[in-house]
Structure 1
């Protein structure tokens, strides 16, 4: 377990993978270690520790997300996307939590792709597919195209709520790789 100061863009974040965790928060490292000592493999991403950390940093934890990294950019987008101004909850959330937000949609508006700089300045992707267009591969096509839209070919990350199985399937089908789990605490 590694304990670091809170990162740019969050009050705290807990990140974990196979037998490792990082707790980035402005709290005493000794408190962190003693609070998870009973089960250092599972406790850092468990409800009790996350609740205790929330009390310490004064911010609510978000959802437990799978963090994925995109494959290399495709040679072509594979679908038509146009820059868009869309009023949608997914876009509003991106505007609250990310900077340098860029939005594209399919010409018919059935799919929306959002890129922006999130935690620690990393490029992050999210998407929304209209319910009438779901189940036909549009989500996978959107996230397949996304790496080609990132400036300078920078790495692209996705945070997917573990319960959002449709989104997880789309990202995995597009070749994204799971690298860890993460819980962000609001700004």
Structure 2
């Protein structure tokens, strides 16, 4: 297993990113579960245990601006076929520093894995913990390369009163580390806005290739 991806993500938490030189870094997977592509400003990172020479050959052949080749659908489709993996959307990656003090919203920790967000988190994260609020759920766990990740779900009838923002800020107070990450599909504008209002800053995009598909 390769720990280079973990170092790249830790640096990104501090606001330090790969050089915007238009190149692609190819490294091994951090573990057997996760492979994929990250795109920062003018620099991409492909993390897979596949042959690096094959990766670079297919990137060069992708019908795209070289700056975007690693996120080109043609390249991603070839990578999926090569690895036998699956992926969902290309997500926006955001990160926020941890905050001191208790959450500003009343939470109760639960162990019930029946909620759809909980079931999905268990497929992609380790050490998952779950809290419920009146009208919402907060999930926290270790995801890609061991980084702490959070996810928020707000009931439809509880929307419009700032609960999503409050839960996202609560994650910053509950994370047992210096920072917490959140990923969202760019088209999910409501979620993107909530995390940004909670202090999460965009740092790049992510195409995560999973060994198994979670439909939750």
Tell me the TM-score normalized by structure 1.
Answer: 0.92
Q: Quick one: distance in 2 between partners of 1:85 and 1:128?
A: 16
Shift of residue 155, structure 1, vs aligned partner? 1.7
List structure 1 runs of 4+ shifted beyond 6 angstroms: none
Of 53-62 and 65-74, more deviation after overlay is shown by 65-74
* 8 Å Cα contact 2:34-2:144 kept in structure 1: no
Q: 2:124 aligns with which of 87, 91, 97?
A: 97
SS in 2 for 1:182: strand
Deviation at 1:159, TM superposition (A): 1.2
Q: Secondary structure of the residue that 1:128 maps to in structure 2?
A: strand
5 Å-filtered alignment, 1:38-187, equals 39-86=65-112, 87-106=114-133, 108=134, 110-151=135-176, 153-187=177-211
The 10-residue stretch of structure 1 (161-170 or 78-87) with the greater mean CA deviation from structure 2: 78-87
8 A contact 1:12–1:57 mirrored in 2: no
Q: Runs of 5+ in structure 1 lacking a partner? A: none
CA-to-aligned-CA distance 1:18-47 (integer Å, 9 cap, x gap): 110000011222222222225321121111
Cα 1:20–1:145, aligned 2, differ >3 Å: closer, same or farther?
same
* Structure showing greater relative contact order (alpha-carbon pairs closer than 8 Å, 6 or more residues apart): 1
Gaps of 5+ in 2: 1-23, 212-216
Q: CA RMSD in A?
A: 1.5
Cα offset, 1:10, TM superposition: 3.2
- Tell me how far 1:74 sits from its aligned partner: 4.5
CA distance in structure 1 between the aligned counterparts of 2:75 and 2:160, rounded to whole angstroms = 37
Quickly say closer, same or farther: Cα 1:145–1:9, change in 2 above 3 A.
farther
CA distance in 2, matches of 1:45, 1:70: 24
CA contact (8 A) 1:6 1:24 kept: yes
Alignment length (residue pairs): 184
**1:11: how far off?**
4.3
Cα deviation for residue 63 of structure 1 reads 1.3
